[in-house]
Amino acid sequence: MTRHRTQVAIIGSGPAGLLLGQLLAKFGIDAIILDRVDKDYILGRVRAGVLEGGTVATLEKAGVADRLHREGLPHDGFAIAFDNRLERVDIEKYAGKKVMVYGQTEVTRDLMAAREAAGALTVYDAADAQPRDYDTDRPFVSFTKDGVEHRIDCDFIAGCDGFHGPSRKSVPDGAIAEYERVYPFGWLGILADVPPVSDELIYANHPEGFALCSMRSKTRSRYYVQCALDDKIEDWSDARFWEHLKRRLPEESLATLTEGPSFEKSIAPLRSFVAEPMRFGRLFLVGDAAHIVPPTGAKGLNLAVSDVHYLYSGLQEHYGEGSDAGLDAYSAKALARVWKSVRFSWWMTTMLHRFPDTEAFGQRIQEAELDYLFSSEAAMTTIAENYVGLPF
């Protein structure tokens, strides 16, 4: 058994774990990060694309926002297409803020580079990580690497290990409440090196299903179409993908749509999920380990950041001022913001997707809601202030 000692043991080297590690390092708090896979696998996962202002500010505070400001695309609005209409939500006018289009992969890359430059320890390919004894004041994390058993003694454990990780699952059933809604469809996404159809994102409601036109740069597009839950990647040739995307976009968008070969194609299931509470003694659940949202509201990554913001503030107080007020308030504070983002993501998903029971009446109701949305200053303000991100 190889033994290690640190102040905070972080399970998971996704954006939550890496950002927490980076903020702690800047404050002089030692942390070891573990992940069950390697860097390339993590960087190969294509996920979020839109950063809220609070996320950008937190990345700036962590000292990893230089490339984001050089290469990211600030957006002051997005569009919703429905009933062959293309209508714009002016987030700058109605919420006074922008969002930044910069892929999660790049955020993760920047955080990994900063951690390496600081010489901080991340253990990749760490198998069987388990948070242990976190109901005592001597918690530890066990894992194996290359057949050798390891133990990390620590003061606190941050469970940043995503929806399928061991942290939440280690909590005894009677001590945790779980709320879930699984959606009866998925998102099929592609990346293609073609110019985006528009300078801003387009979310599309259509009788055949939802579509989303996003981007990673002015020469790289990210597109999604709603697909059946049992669809497989091999069911979707590029030709079929482009055909379905074009059918779901308004005519005026087709004039600027550039098709091309995809170099990444993946299907993501959609669910809303929240675990309560988010703290168990010395174990804190962070990001997707505690909650999942359908990506329709572009909230998943941004919620992971607000959790990190609250937990980091609490740890800073503990080590800097000897106060546990922030740690004691973590779960309630994080969940208050989580549930409002879960609601918004559920609302956007319900309004824009084709459900098995939508039928003709349901389609008209969705179109009426969208028609009202664009006729009301109050409704525009509501969607804009939720999309740019509620305050931390």
Tell me, yes or no, if 41 is annotated catalytic. Answer: no
Query: Measured at the alpha carbon of residue 252, what is the angle toward residues 52 and 219, in degrees to the nearest 5?
Result: 50
Interface contacts to ligand FAS, rule CB under 6 A: 11-17, 34-37, 42, 47-49, 104, 126, 129, 160-162, 164-166, 268, 287-288, 295, 298-301, 304
Residue 42 or 249 having the CB closest to ligand FAS: 42
Annotate 290-333 with DSSP letters as a single string. TEE--GGGS-HHHHHHHHHHHHHHHHHHHHHHS--HHHHHHHHH
Residue 157 or 298 having the CB closest to ligand PHB: 298
Residue 312 phi/psi, 5-degree rounding, is: -60, -45
Cβ at position 67, least distance to ligand PHB in Å: 17
Tell me, yes or no, if 145 is annotated catalytic. Answer: no
287 binds, among ligand FAS, ligand PHB, none (CB under 5 to 8 A by kind): ligand FAS
296 binds, among ligand FAS, ligand PHB, none (CB under 5 to 8 A by kind): ligand PHB
34 binds, among ligand PHB, ligand FAS, none (CB under 5 to 8 A by kind): ligand FAS
Interface contacts to ligand PHB, rule CB under 6 A: 48-50, 201, 214, 222, 295-296, 298
Cβ at position 201, least distance to ligand PHB in Å: 6
Instruction: Reduce the DSSP state of residue 227 to 3 states and report it.
Output: strand
CA distance 276 to 143: 26
- Largest alpha-carbon pair distance within the chain? 66
**Six-digit token pair at 4?**
């290690």
Tell me, yes or no, if 387 is annotated catalytic. Answer: yes
Q: Where are the alpha helices (H) located in 118-200, listed in sequence order?
A: 166-169
Residue 127 or 368 having the CB closest to ligand FAS: 127
Pairing of strands 31-34, 8-11: parallel
Residue 78 or 140 having the CB closest to ligand PHB: 78
- Which positions are catalytic? 75, 203, 295, 299, 387
